[in-house]
Structure 1
Amino acid sequence: MRVIGLAGWSGAGKTTLLTRLIPELNRRGVSVSTLKHAHHAFDLDTPGKDSYEHRMAGAREVLISSERRWALMHELRGEPEASLTDLLRRLSPVDLVLVEGFKREPHAKIEIHRAANGKPPLHPDDPSIVAIASDVAFPEAGRPFVPLDDIAAIAEIVLAGAEPLATVLARPQRQA
């Protein structure tokens, strides 16, 4: 497995890009999984559903299965948030893991930047950013640049910049 992140401020277009990038990578024969960081409490199930009731009753994990998919939810119940490396270890093997978020972790990342957001770029302070996908160029960045809408070029950068899972797992992670 190889790993690369898409990092940027909220509203930069990371999720939109992922939904266009995954089919392009699949067309090239690359199996892809994603790992997304959420910044707040979130629910995949809804009040009244059995899985929600199990979780609210105190279950540590709730596994939901059907003929189409299965999902495992793990309640932390006061434990610290799982690290990126802990989460990567839980994934089934694929060719490529695309990490959305975790912008402060030291894995290889492509910065997703949109000028209209009004947020500063991440790359000046993050040596793990290997390329920039944006609607504005950063000639001083010293990293490859690709326009946000050039999905084929972004796929090339993803494949070239992704690092082996073992490299990511061996690297010290950021301290909370």
Structure 2
Amino acid sequence: MKLYGVVGWKNAGKTGLMERLVTEITGRGLRVSTVKHAHHSFDVDHEGKDSHRHRVAGATEVMLASRNRFALMHELRAEAEPTLEALLARLSPVDLVLIEGYKRDVHPKVEAHRAETGNPLIAPEDPTVRAVASDVPLHIDRPVFDLNDTSAIADFILAEVGL
């Protein structure tokens, strides 16, 4: 599978860019999966639901399935957070996996940047950031795209991964 990341500081526009890229690239007939890193605890089920009761009872994995989708929840308990590589190995094959976050991993990335956040660019210190999608013009040693020019960013990513 081909991999490409979207990184940036909080409120830089990563999730919106990811959403637009998935729509754009799947609209071109490619199959896309995503991985999103969370820096906080999260839940996909709710207290009182059967799946939640299974997890609370001690199940390591709980699969919730219907005719429309399934979700696999794996409780880490005393395990360390899995690596990106280990998580990718669990995905079904697709044409492209877009990864939000995991900025310290070595896959190629585009950086989302909004000037109003006041955060510095990641790109100058990270050669894995191959381009920047920004809401203001920038003068750096990599391609800079308008943050909202999803088609051009998608073209760049697909060319980078050979799709």
TM-score range, shorter chain: over 0.9
Contact 1:108 1:163 in 2 (8 A): no
CA distance in 2, matches of 1:91, 1:24: 21
SS of 1:90's equivalent in the other structure is coil
TM-score computed with the length of structure 1 as normaliser: 0.89
The equivalent of 1:135 in structure 2 is 135
- 1:49-83 per-residue CA deviation (whole Å, 9 max, x = no partner) reads 11111111111000000010001010101111000
Using the TM superposition, give the Cα deviation of residue 163 of structure 1 relative to its aligned residue in structure 2, in angstroms.
Answer: 7.5
Contact 1:4 1:163 in 2 (8 A): no
- 1:106-145 per-residue CA deviation (whole Å, 9 max, x = no partner) reads 1100001111111111001111001110112221x21111
The equivalent of 1:6 in structure 2 is 6
Which region of structure 1 is more displaced relative to structure 2, 126-135 or 14-23? 14-23
Instruction: Report the residue type matching 2:10 in the other structure.
Output: S
CA distance in 1, matches of 2:127, 2:55: 40
Query: How many equivalent pairs are there?
Result: 163
1:56-67 maps to which residues of 2 (within 5 A)?
56-67=56-67
Structure 1 unmatched ranges of 5 or more: 165-176
CA distance in 2, matches of 1:137, 1:38: 29
Distance change (3 Å), C-alpha of 1:128 and 1:163: farther
CA distance in 2, matches of 1:22, 1:135: 20
CA distance in 2, matches of 1:81, 1:162: 27
Q: Identity percentage over the alignment?
A: 54
CA distance in 2, matches of 1:147, 1:55: 44
Query: What CA RMSD, in Å, does the superposition of the two structures yield over aligned residues?
Result: 1.3
4+ aligned runs moved over 6 Å, structure 1: none
1:51-90 maps to which residues of 2 (within 5 A)?
51-90=51-90
1:27-38 maps to which residues of 2 (within 5 A)?
27-38=27-38
Structure 2 unmatched ranges of 5 or more: none
Instruction: Report the residue type matching 1:158 in the other structure.
Output: I
